[in-house]
Chain A
Amino acid sequence: MAGLESFLSAIAGFVTSFAIIDVFWATLLGIVVGMLPGLTATLGVALMTTLTFQMEADRAILILICMYVGAIYGGSRSAILLNIPGTPANAATSLDGYPLARSGQAGRAMAIATTGSFVGGLIGMLALAVVAPALAEFALSFGAFEFFWLAVFGVLIAGQLTALDDPLKGWIAGFLGLFVAMIGQEGIHAVPRFAYGSTDLAGGIGLLPAMVGAFGFAEILTVMRQQSYEVVRGKVGSIWSGVRQAVRYRITAIRSGLIGTFMGLVPGVGEDMGAWASYAAARQTSREKGQFGKGSVEGLMAAETGNNAAVPGALIPVLTLAVPGSAPAAVLLAAMIIHGIRPGPLIMIEFPDFVFSVVAMVFLATCAMFVLGLLLTRPLLLVLRVTRERLMPVIFVLCTVGAFAIASRTFDVWIMLVFGVLGFILRELKYPMAPLILGIVLGDILDKSLRRGLVLTDGDLTPFFTRPISIVLFGSALLFIILSMPGTRRLMARMLARRRNGDGP
């Protein structure tokens, strides 16, 4: 009941102040950022963090959440109209959205995506309100051993799920991220590591310049490398019939919302997998399987519900464990720390109202997204007419200024450039970026937890493997490694084939 009161009072506070204006402009900007191929939600939230870091905490976090929700939704527009996902989270959307647009039903497809995103956002928001306080209480029992395994588990699972074809590359990206976090003064004895006499390096690699580089500059290079895109021209079609049609698939929407929230909750996995897992589940259970990939309303609904449900889902571990559920959530975590909020197991004790304030922010952002998405369907199409040649230099200027703005250091601009070029090369080599960023966030937790744990046990490793939560996390991490080994996969495929043959006539 106290939670509901906090939620309602936060809503009332936002609605009766100028904050409601922030909700609308930030969500609209998020939709525009998400729509433009090459601008991801991560970049949008990172650049907005550099602009809002002098604002009050509540106002800044509200703007960032609106940008996040808007961008994940906005990516559906370019997925439907260009067959290019505006953000990686909308890749599954293009499978059915684009065929619908090509058949003259672009308006309907956009309305279905909008309704799906709205429902997904609300389901994720409810989960955030219910799960976050309970998880925070549970996480109070975490010690150094559990946090060590949580960091290892997070990097392994993020590496595995963001590089399904080649988990080894996902893990390498994660371990590279953990290494990047080792650069600079360590937290126990204040010894500079890998600094080689540079005071800038001794201060460590900032998460925000690294993210602006890996998700901004690298994306600019990737977009410029590819062929230019063309918008689907022709009839937009009816919008409201799409909303009515979306309501018919409410069971798909609820299931996708729950799956999306769960995928958001898993460290570093986020919206992309939220959409893909929901899409796969919808296809598995659908009566119209043959329509999937050819313009299925159910498939489009599942993908868009799944990715927007993952947004609040990804905020759950941010608030309760200080572990991001996705790349944009990692920026939000950094932003919360900049604004003096300490996410983690103590959040319900130190900042009890903040969790419900975040729930209220997600609610307002989701409502604004729904209203703006439906009302501005046609005007927003103009955004897609901007060519990459004219857009990318402006984005690069924002990346440079954004990297510089946080600490007014030229060194951060260099970090942005290094991570941009490195990120571009790694992407070309099919290494995913999300585990790298998660590694940078979790590196400090891993380092301190392992060393503290070893001090507590005087070098005895047994508690790392015998405490109940440690067993679960360690066992899951081990299982993930074993299951992704080619030998295990072949063995499982053989066993499945044998069972199928045995079951046959």
Chain B
Amino acid sequence: MKASRMDRLDFVSAIVLTAFGIAVLVESLRLPRLDHLNVNPYTVPGIVPGMLGAILTLCGLAMLIRSILRGGWRLDLTADTVGGFVRSPSVRRVALVLALTLGYALGLFGWLPFWLATMAFVFAFVVATEAMALGKLPPLPNIAIAAAIAAVTGAGVEFVFERLFYVRLPG
């Protein structure tokens, strides 16, 4: 029986989940028992997380066994399949969006004035994703629209949050 793509993904995620469940269980056992405070042993902080760690481990193992029975352990990791996955348009789009969004949230937000960071991000996002969709730089009217959306978003969000709802923005 040929394993489906989801069976292979389940095999990998089951290993991660089982390892995570074991880690939660071990860390729960390491939580303080508060013996020196004479607390009731049934209220120790690790009891519920430990139980959840055990359940997650069992669920991970159940999924692991199921994916093995369905042939998911044959991961079919060849240069062609990996290369095809990395080159697929959807993966490239997600990678671009991740780079832009993480760059804004971690690199610009809080470091530059809010309006400036936001305008730069929105403009870069619109132009870059449109360029990827078109396979070339978008035409000038589209770039002008991107600049307008960036300006309105930067100024508008700052006005609404800071002036109307009194939320202090960073930067």
In the complex, whether B68 has a CB less than 8 A from a CB of chain A is no
Asked if B93 and A417 sit within 8 Å, CB to CB, the answer is no
CB-CB under 8 A from B31, the residues of chain A are: 191, 193
User: Is A363 in contact with chain B by the CB < 8 A criterion?
Assistant: no
Is A221 in contact with B149, judged by CB distance below 8 angstroms? no
Whether A172 contacts B93 by the Cβ 8 Å rule is no
Count class of interface residues, chain B: 35 or more
**B112 in contact (CB, < 8 A):** no
Q: Which residues of the other chain, A, contact B100 by a CB distance below 8 angstroms?
A: 393
Residue B106 is within 8 A (CB to CB) of chain A in the complex: yes
Contact B98 A408 (CB under 8 A): no
CB of A269 within 8 Å of the partner chain? no
A153 at the interface (CB under 8 A from B): no
A447 within 8 A of B: yes
Interface residue B34 (Cβ < 8 Å from any Cβ of A): yes
Establish whether residues B167 and A405, one from each chain, have CB atoms under 8 Å apart when the complex forms: yes
The verdict on A220 contacting B56 (CB below 8 Å), with A189-B34, A392-B125, A459-B42 known, is no
Residues of A close to B6: CB separation below 8 A: 429-430
Q: Is A390 an interface residue (CB 8 A)?
A: yes
Q: Let me know if A73 is at the binding interface, CB within 8 A.
A: no
Q: Are B52 and A410 in contact (CB under 8 A)?
A: no
Q: Is A17 an interface residue (CB 8 A)?
A: no
A220 to B129, CA, bound (A): 13
Q: Which residue of B lies closest to A222 (CB)?
A: B94
Determine chain B's interface SS by DSSP, over half rule. helix
A-B contact count (CB 8 A): 156
1/0 per residue, CB under 8 A from B, across A187-216: the answer is 011010110000000000000000000000
Inter-chain contacts of A179 with B (CB < 8 A): 24, 49, 52-53, 56
The residue from A169, A191, A405, A414 contacting B161, defined by CB atoms under 8 A apart:
A405
Stretch at the interface among A94-102, A290-298, A450-458: A450-458
Measured between C-beta atoms, what is the minimum distance from A422 to chain B in Å? Answer: 11
* Chain B CB within 8 A of A499 CB: no
Q: Does A401 make an interface contact (CB < 8 A)? A: yes
Q: Contact between A451 and B48 (Cβ–Cβ < 8 Å)?
A: yes
Q: How far is the CB of B39 from chain A (nearest CB, A)?
A: 6
Mark interface residues in A438-453 (1 if CB within 8 Å of B CB, else 0): 0000000011001110
Q: Please give 9 more A-B residue pairs, beta carbons under 8 A apart, in addition to A176-B56, A398-B157.
A: A188-B43, A220-B97, A225-B93, A389-B125, A390-B149, A397-B122, A429-B6, A429-B13, A455-B40
Where the two chains meet, the residues of B that have a C-beta atom closer than 8 Å to any C-beta of A are: 6, 9-10, 13, 17, 24, 27, 31-32, 34, 37, 39-43, 45-49, 51-53, 55-56, 59-60, 62-63, 66, 90-91, 93-94, 97-98, 100-102, 104-106, 109-110, 118, 121-122, 125-126, 129-130, 133, 145-146, 149, 153, 157, 160-161, 165-170
Q: What are the 8 closest A-B residue pairs judged by CB atoms, nearest first?
A: A454-B42, A393-B125, A191-B45, A389-B129, A182-B49, A447-B48, A393-B122, A405-B167
User: Could you list 27 A-B pairs, sorted by A, with CB under 8 Å?
Assistant: A50-B167, A51-B167, A171-B59, A189-B39, A224-B97, A224-B129, A225-B90, A225-B91, A225-B94, A389-B129, A389-B130, A392-B129, A393-B121, A393-B125, A394-B149, A396-B105, A397-B153, A404-B109, A408-B167, A410-B110, A417-B101, A429-B9, A429-B10, A446-B48, A451-B48, A455-B43, A458-B42
Hey, which bits of chain A sit against chain B, CB under 8 A? Answer: 50-52, 54, 168-169, 171-172, 175-176, 178-179, 182, 186, 188-189, 191, 193-194, 217, 220-221, 224-226, 228, 389-390, 392-394, 396-398, 400-401, 404-405, 408, 410, 413-414, 416-417, 421, 424, 428-430, 446-447, 450-452, 454-455, 458-459
